[in-house]
Structure 1
């Protein structure tokens, strides 16, 4: 079968390649085999090639999330069944024609959800739910008043839009922070009642302060990172928490200890890489909720373009440079 692999550390565009590899192993007890139809190119997938291969390994398959059809099941598996369309995560080597994963990693896709949307329904939605759990806990601990706004930076990103959606559904006031007018237009299209602050405007800090209007802000969610962190921290209430779930800037923070110390500010990181350590019931609920969210709000899971494996380099370039939606690889 064909699979995207790499055998030496380096930039994904240089070291990732399509290769014929042995067929995926037959599913064992509690496992299913899935014929992959579509798999997204996440930025995290591309970062993975910068790390050396595990000890003794000569090759490693790329990809972590996919949508496809169950082709075989192992012993003791009652669901999903052969022929079911499923979304799978985590699925190491998802950029392959077939993958074998634990049955619990494969969730049945509703008929109303396309393969393309299903392929990006899990990672982004699960991340947003992990962020929301942290936000809810922190707001509760801080005894945040009902009128305390939640400031969401990177609100036009795939995960940012899902955070805004869930916060609005909770009845919270949300203030969206984005980098460009284009991103602001995206937020306004999906959430016309949510005020938006654009950081390219030199008056953005005054605009944000005006919207906050002196109210305490116990939590800000952020995926920009870099120098922006120092700029957004002053809007946190004393003892407030910055919930960090991404690093779009890919630059070092410019904080000093005193930036946090004097007002006892906190930083809490949320990473999809830790989600597999969550309790089984939480992970199961997250998977089901992710597909339900995809069915109700497919417009929040935007696809930029799809690429066959032969156009792997184009898909990688699109994943790195396009901000309007996900780049997908098509297989089978």
Structure 2
């Protein structure tokens, strides 16, 4: 069985290698054996390979998410059978041809785009949980976010719209404005001078109780300024120190960090995935894929990720 493994923490381009591993054993009670079809390559993969986020015991197979086909079902598993397509739980080491996974929360996916399904494991629940777990919202409320064109950002736009919320998304390239408006965003703003004032004007000075951000720095500080007293800034990537002058704290703004793998797959992550599948099938959500690489081309795939764009690995797709 082919797999991408690392024996020490470090630069992914240097430490991840293609190896042959023994075939997995038959699934036990509550487990399924799956063939991995596609697996995303994200910056959080590189952080884990570097030993910075939930470092696993070494040696370890890389890969935090993916879509797979069920090959065998263990005792006590209901609702799954050979041939079903499923989204894998996080942190299983998905950059390998086959693995055994816990079946709790897994449901068969309908016929659809496997590459889009492959990206449901992390970005989708990050977006859905950011919208639901930190700040009470009602229909018509505004959510402001950085990185509107990213995988999480596009999921925020689609899920917020489906839940009756409005979104204002910040982007850094002017050609993305019309693209995200076509994708369902209510407001898209180009990063730049007077950003907070332009956001307030765009939302009609409505109170903004939730902001979602990943880049940190000045943009994060701007979102704190935009938030209403008692609002929440949910961060899912950047970990730099913000609100150094205490403006947010003074008006009761909370800053929370969302690590999606800390949430239970069956009770928290799987429901968001189920909510999102119809949006993929209808075309209301689509995350553009920049390139797809085979396992043997992992170094080129990592280099492409660093340059920018959504990258997938074709495992057995």
Q: Calculate the TM-score normalised by the size of structure 2.
A: 0.89
C-alpha distance in structure 2 between counterparts of 1:52 and 1:170, whole Å: 34
Partner of 1:15: 15
1:220-259 residue pairs with structure 2 within 5 A?
220-247=211-238, 252-259=240-247
Q: 1:134 to 1:183 in 2, by over 3 A?
A: farther
Partner of 1:128: 127
Contact 2:292 2:312 in 1 (8 A): yes
Question: Which sections of structure 2, spanning at least 5 residues, go unmatched?
Answer: none
Matched, 1:305 2:288: no
1:1-332 residue pairs with structure 2 within 5 A?
1-51=1-51, 57-90=57-90, 92-104=92-104, 106-111=106-111, 113-134=112-133, 137-139=135-137, 148-191=141-184, 194-199=186-191, 201-247=192-238, 252-276=240-264, 280-297=266-283, 299-323=285-309, 326-332=310-316
C-alpha distance in structure 1 between counterparts of 2:55 and 2:296, whole Å: 30
Q: 1:241 to 1:85 in 2, by over 3 A?
A: closer
Aligned length: 316
TM superposition outliers: structure 1 runs of 4+ over 6 Å? 52-56
Question: Which sections of structure 1, spanning at least 5 residues, go unmatched?
Answer: 141-145
The Cα RMSD (Å) is 2.6
Contact 1:41 1:329 in 2 (8 A): yes
Q: Calculate the TM-score normalised by the size of structure 1.
A: 0.86
For residue 261 of structure 1, give the secondary structure of its aligned residue in structure 2.
Answer: helix
Partner of 1:143: none
For residue 145 of structure 2, give the secondary structure of its aligned residue in structure 1.
Answer: strand
Q: What's the CA shift for 1:92?
A: 1.0
Contact 2:86 2:108 in 1 (8 A): yes
Which structure: greater helix fraction? 1
Q: What's the CA shift for 1:28?
A: 0.6
Deviations 1:61-83 (A, max 9, x none): 11121222211121122331112
Contact 2:147 2:171 in 1 (8 A): yes
For residue 317 of structure 1, give the secondary structure of its aligned residue in structure 2.
Answer: helix
Contact 2:144 2:223 in 1 (8 A): no
Q: 1:213 to 1:288 in 2, by over 3 A?
A: closer
Q: What's the CA shift for 1:105?
A: 5.3
Contact 2:196 2:225 in 1 (8 A): no
For residue 101 of structure 2, give the secondary structure of its aligned residue in structure 1.
Answer: strand
Contact 1:229 1:253 in 2 (8 A): no
Q: What's the CA shift for 1:33?
A: 0.6
